[in-house]
Amino acid sequence: MTARSSQILVQPAYDRQALKTRILHLGFGAFARAHPILHTDLANEVTGGDWGVAVARLNSGEALLSELDTAGRFYTVAETDDAGLMARRVACVTQTLHPRRDGPDAIPDLIAAADLRIISLTVTEKGYCLAGDTLDLKHPQIQCDLAAQTTPKTAIGTIVEGLRRRRVARQGGLTVLSCDNLPANGNMCRNAVLGLAHARDRELAEWIAANCRFPSTMVDRIVPALDDDARATLHEVLGRDDPNGILCEPFRQWVIEDDIANGCPDWAAAGAELVRDVAPYEEMKLRMLNGAHSALAYLGALHGHATIADCMADDVFRDAAYRLMLTEQAPTLSMPDTVDLAGYASQLINRFSNSRLHHKTTQIAMDGSQKLPQRLLSSCADNLEQGRDWPLTALAVAAWMRYIRGVDENGVAVPVQDPMAGDFARLASAGDGVQYVESLLDLDQVFPPTLAEQSGFRAAILRAYSRVEAMGARGAILESLTQGEGGT
Ligand code: CS2
């Protein structure tokens, strides 16, 4: 590890004893630690307040929660780039919860507690169990939650069961705050919660709709999964291990719809913006940042680039990311006049170039079936409608199709982690080329039929796929950049 120019460790100065558990956070993964929970910690620090957070995980990571308890419920967030490293000990966690360790009632009962004001979530796109904009009532896990209502397994089932108990306990409503990368994430979350509540008890659904708020949020911070290098960096800063510590970029942004039920920490004091309409910011971030991330993930991983920073060190990939953002994504957005999209794209290229973070292309490649629609396909639809070219987006979608065959261009296996991995393996084993691409385009869970039925769309993806096959990802990008064609 190369030495950094500066290294600082900040300890919280506020009174932890005064904290009350007012927030339940579902999904205590890397992003949650470095973003929403950190904002609460900073708000407590800057303007006071008694906002304590109970952190819960529903599936894996039980041992990590116990390790957090052992560490006095402190963990470290270390922000790093070439300028240095600044680490903060986060102190606002009051409690850890896991249904296997603490029993099935622990989380629903906390949701019913008088002090609770907010349930926040980082459960990834698939955690909402959606089909399109609404809850997928046929989803196997939702079916389980309907069959065993008081011992739910999903985040949505847990929230609904908790809110049922809250209503029985005659407590007031609260805010359910989605912090996942979905468009209109508040509405999606509301649809999922109300969909399940309605299937259980119509009056419960009505109570939730009348008493709870589901603001949308745009969340942004690049927080790779912890690897050995990051662990070693944290050890160097702290003088010991921190299994819940995290290494991330210095940048963070949080735009929250100003529609809160019953109070929240002074997140604005921690840098968040509360606005009337989050939609333009969400779309900008999902299409320009996440769209470019997914494009780099599939094209880069196929070529053999291990990280996003490796892609940025390769001119061809860096130019492609910038051009994708500016010429294929930005024109599909309608932003307030104050937003400078060219400046935003340049800033993203700088953020992607942070070589202190090892953000793996294969990590971002995960769950493509859940990510492609909002990151890449909605802009295809807009561009087709407006008659604009979208060659790099076509290459990105084609690279996804090639990536989910499970082997890169060098014959090295790549992980295909996706709720639809079984379907992909079946389609891949049935053949390759035109027939394979056509069979993927027919998956309406990924490709909205209104898009997939357009012959111009299908032809562009088929052409892009054959270029990626024939020239490799880098060759296909290069051709597209130099000839200004390739997809449409
Ligand atoms: C990434 C995001 O893993 C992914 O899919 O695109 O986690 C990305 O790093 C964050 O959304 C940045 O805010």
Pocket of ligand 1 (CB under 6 A): 181, 220-222, 289-290, 293, 363-364
- Tell me the best of 287, 289, 347 to mutate to test the pocket of ligand 1, counting ligand atoms within 8 Å of each CB and taking the most: 289
Q: Is pLDDT larger for residue 262 or for residue 407?
A: 407
Identical fold, 7-275 and 279-483 = no
Distance between CA 449 and CA 397 in Å, rounded? 16
Instruction: Summarize the confidence of residues 398-417 as an average pLDDT.
Output: 98
Residue 414, pLDDT above cutoff 50? yes
Residue 23, pLDDT above cutoff 90? yes
List pLDDT tens digits, range 433-460: 999 999 999 999 999 999 999 999 999 9
Distance between CA 146 and CA 107 in Å, rounded? 17
Q: Give the mean pLDDT of the chain.
A: 96
List pLDDT tens digits, range 210-223: 999 999 999 999 99
pLDDT classification of 294: cutoffs 50, 70, 90 = very high
Instruction: Summarize the confidence of residues 376-400 as an average pLDDT.
Output: 98
pLDDT classification of 4: cutoffs 50, 70, 90 = low
* Ligand 1 nearest atom to the CA of residue 31, by list position: 7
Residue 6, pLDDT above cutoff 50? yes
List pLDDT tens digits, range 170-203: 999 999 999 999 999 999 999 999 999 999 999 9
Q: List the residue whose alpha carbon is closest to atom 3 of ligand 1.
A: 364
Q: State in Å: Cα 5 to ligand 1 middle.
A: 27
- Strands laid side by side in the 253-257 sheet: 217-220, 253-257, 273-275
Residue 1, pLDDT above cutoff 50? no
Class of domain 7-275: alpha beta
Residue 10, pLDDT above cutoff 90? yes
Spatial CB neighbours of 326, under 8 Å, sequence gap ≥ 6: 341, 342, 345
CATH number of 279-483: 1.10.1040.10
Contact criterion met (CB below 8 Å) for 352 and 321: yes
pLDDT classification of 483: cutoffs 50, 70, 90 = confident
- Strands laid side by side in the 175-178 sheet: 93-97, 51-56, 20-26, 118-121, 175-178
Contact criterion met (CB below 8 Å) for 329 and 396: no
Residue 487, pLDDT above cutoff 50? no
Distance between CA 455 and CA 441 in Å, rounded? 11
List pLDDT tens digits, range 27-73: 999 999 999 999 999 999 999 999 999 999 999 999 999 999 999 99
Domain boundaries, the chain: 7-275, 279-483
Q: List the residue whose alpha carbon is closest to atom 1 of ligand 1.
A: 364
- Tell me the best of 293, 298, 372 to mutate to test the pocket of ligand 1, counting ligand atoms within 8 Å of each CB and taking the most: 293
- pTM, full prediction: 0.96
Place of tokens 């309907």: 146
Give one word for 411, left, alpha or beta, with left for phi > 0 and alpha for psi -120 to 50: left
Q: Is pLDDT larger for residue 6 or for residue 481?
A: 481
* Ligand 1 nearest atom to the CA of residue 367, by list position: 5
- Tell me the best of 126, 181, 344 to mutate to test the pocket of ligand 1, counting ligand atoms within 8 Å of each CB and taking the most: 181
- pLDDT value of residue 250: 98
List pLDDT tens digits, range 125-163: 999 999 999 999 999 999 999 999 999 999 999 999 999
Q: State in Å: Cα 434 to ligand 1 middle.
A: 31
- pLDDT value of residue 484: 62
Distance between CA 60 and CA 72 in Å, rounded? 21
* Ligand 1 nearest atom to the CA of residue 363, by list position: 3
